Chain A
Amino acid sequence: MEKFAPVKRSEDGQPVRYLIVDDSVFARKNLARMVETFGGQVIGEAGDGVSAISEYERLTPDIVLMDITMPQMEGIEAAEKIVRDHPSARIVMVSSVGYQENIVAALQRGARHFVQKPVKPEVLYEVIKYVMRDDAVATRGAGAGA
């Protein structure tokens, strides 16, 4: 996997903290591996929309990577509920189902961005930097990476 300049939180220089939501354990592991190469820290995982909401409340991560098609509650509905209570929540939808209507629905309900599976690390990395904006900074030589 490529090496990426670690993305750290601007306020305290700590790793960006992620909540990964996907009903597939395999997908969660792969995303976790990927964000760790960006210098990030996975602080929680959830396998459906309902757990995603409670985990968000409990952990208040910097970024949520959220699948769309999941049992119990789908990702778009979970994103909407999280953003309703936490307007500053940064949620990136990560799904293989990326048709226009779905993307528009996700963005209208509060998601900040959409990444289609299979995820290319370089694409996700740029999206993370874009979504974090001034709240994070990418710096070489900070000790993380592949």
Chain B
Amino acid sequence: MRMDLIQPFINSTDAVLAQGLESPVSIENLTMEEEAYRRKGIAAEVCLLGEIEGRIIFDVDLGTAVQLATRLAGVEVSETDDLVREAVCELANQIIGNAVTSLNDQGFHFHVHPPTLHTSEQGSKTSEDTEALVMCFNTSHGNVFMNVALRHHCRQAVERSVVAG
């Protein structure tokens, strides 16, 4: 996976969470995932379409999600409150939106869809041309995960034409 596609997601996660939580955020680990994605808690999925295609899943275990929602909403939120799921979706929207902004300003053109709750236990398996990278971020309220599976069409087209030529 191209690091120049991933770095904006790391930067925006760091920036958005640090601003919202008013405390530092660190990246705990970063792994390539070959198996189908297994949801850890409340997850929001955002799909990208265009020169860069794929999906990003923002995933937070329930306890951490409740703490994040309480912190960001400024009111006590319980596990059953819809606001917890709404908070995870909005965080995903902000983090991914900021990363998309950075990628677009670098010249990558694509469209981003609104976040949807990812409710199935497993996500689709990654393929040869769409590797998934899982990042774990450590915050003052617990860990948050981001699973990024993207492919860049233009590069593949160039590579194919080189092989063919």
Contacts and interface: CB of A to CB of B under 8 A. Distances in A.
The binding surface of chain A is classed by DSSP as loop
Interface in B64-119: 69, 72-74, 82-83, 86-87, 89-90, 93-98, 100-102, 104-105, 112-114
B86 A24 contact: yes
Contacts of B74: 1, 33
Contacts of B93: 24, 27, 69, 96, 117
B90 A97 contact: no
Interface in A37-75: 69-71
Taking each of A1, A23, A117, A118, which has the highest tally of chain B beta carbons within 10 Å of its own beta carbon? A118
B89 A26 contact: yes
The binding surface of chain B is classed by DSSP as helix
Interface of A: 1, 23-27, 29-30, 33, 69-71, 95-102, 116-118, 120
Given A96-B93, A96-B96, A118 B19 contact: yes
Interface residues of B, number: 27
B16 interface: yes
B97 A24 contact: no
Contacts of B94: 96, 117-118
Nearest to A26: B86
A27 B16 CA distance: 14
A98 B104 CA distance: 9
A95 B98 CA distance: 9
Nearest to A98: B101
Contacts of B104: 97, 99-102
Taking each of B16, B69, B87, B95, which has the highest tally of chain A beta carbons within 10 Å of its own beta carbon? B87
- 4 closest A-B pairs (Cβ-Cβ)? A96-B97, A99-B104, A26-B86, A97-B97
B97 A23 contact: no
B20 interface: yes
Nearest to B108: A99
27 contacts: A24-B86, A24-B89, A26-B87, A26-B90, A27-B90, A27-B93, A29-B73, A30-B72, A30-B90, A69-B93, A69-B113, A95-B97, A96-B94, A96-B101, A97-B97, A97-B104, A97-B112, A99-B100, A99-B104, A99-B105, A100-B105, A102-B101, A117-B97, A117-B98, A118-B20, A118-B94, A120-B19
